[in-house]
Structure 1
C-alpha cells in the first residue's frame, strides 16, 4: 500500500501532497527534507532510496518531481516507476502537457486523476482509456 504521493518543484516547494496513512510526522518538514534528498541526488544515482522509515521511489519530469513513499519491502520499485509514468502520461493528456500551474490552479482535477489510478493507496486502474473516458472527462470538466 502506498503511504503518500508528493509532487514538488526544483526549489523543493510542494505542489501536491496526498497521504494515505496516518502518521505522526510533521508533514511540512518531512516534505521539505524529502524533496531536498530527491532534487539534490545526482542524475546517475538510482531512483530508489530509504528515508525515515519509508522506501522512496521518485522520478523527475521537466521541472517537477513525483515522489512516492511506502512501508519497506511492500511494493515493487519498478512497478511504482511504471505507475508514476502512467500518472504523468495521464495528466499530460488531460492537461495537454502538465505544468506546475496546472497543479496549482486545477488541484481538484489532479486529485480526481490520482484517485482513479490509486484508490485508497492501492494500485488501481491502469488502463489510460478508462481513466480518460469521455464520461469521466465530462464529469471532471463540470467540477
Structure 2
C-alpha cells in the first residue's frame, strides 16, 4: 500500500503532500521532515529507494523517490510494493503532469495544486494504484477541465 506521496523542492519546501492513512498533524510534520532529510542526503548516482525503518510507526517502510530538476517526488510505501513498480508509477505521474501543464514546473504545483491532486487521485485511490495508463488519466483530467469550464457561477444577492 502507498502510505504517502510527497513532493519537495531542493530547499525542503513541501509542494504536495497526500497521506493515505490518518496521522495527527504533528506526526505528519515529523514524517515529512525525516523523509526530506533522508532523500536530500542521497547522492545522484545511487539507487532511488531507501528502507525507511519506522518513520510511519512500527511498520517497515520503503521510501522510493525520483529527483527531477528542482523537485523530489517521493512515495512512501509498505513492504508489499515493488520498488521498480513504484519508480514506474512516479514516472507516469510526472509525465502526466508534464502533459497536463505543458512542461510542468514547481510553480504549477504551487498555483494549480487542485489539478495536481486530481491527477494523483486518478492514479492512486485510497493508497492503492487505480490507473497507470497515461491516456486514461489524461482523458479524465480533460473531462474535469470541461466540467469546470461549464460550471455556472451562482451569485447570491440581498434583495433588500
Distance 1:58 1:141 in 2: 34
Structure 2 unmatched ranges of 5 or more = 152-160
Is the Cα contact below 8 Å between 1:6 and 1:14 reproduced in 2?
yes
In structure 2, the residue matched to 1:9 is 9
> What secondary structure sits across from 1:49 in the alignment?
strand
Distance 2:18 2:90 in 1: 14
Q: Structure 1's 113 and 141: CA in aligned 2 closer, same or farther, altered over 3 A?
A: farther
The 5-angstrom pairing of residues 1-143 of structure 1 reads 1-23=1-23, 26-51=27-52, 52=55, 53-71=60-78, 73-133=79-139, 134-139=142-147
TM-score w.r.t. structure 2 length? 0.82
Structure 1 unmatched ranges of 5 or more = none
Which protein has the larger Cα radius of gyration, Structure 1 or Structure 2?
A: 2
> What secondary structure sits across from 2:91 in the alignment?
helix
> What secondary structure sits across from 1:98 in the alignment?
coil
TM-score w.r.t. structure 1 length? 0.91
Q: Structure 1's 99 and 22: CA in aligned 2 closer, same or farther, altered over 3 A?
A: same
Q: Structure 1's 82 and 142: CA in aligned 2 closer, same or farther, altered over 3 A?
A: farther
RMSD, aligned α-carbons: 1.7
Is the Cα contact below 8 Å between 1:7 and 1:67 reproduced in 2?
yes
How many corresponding residue pairs?
142
> What secondary structure sits across from 1:3 in the alignment?
strand
> What secondary structure sits across from 2:104 in the alignment?
coil
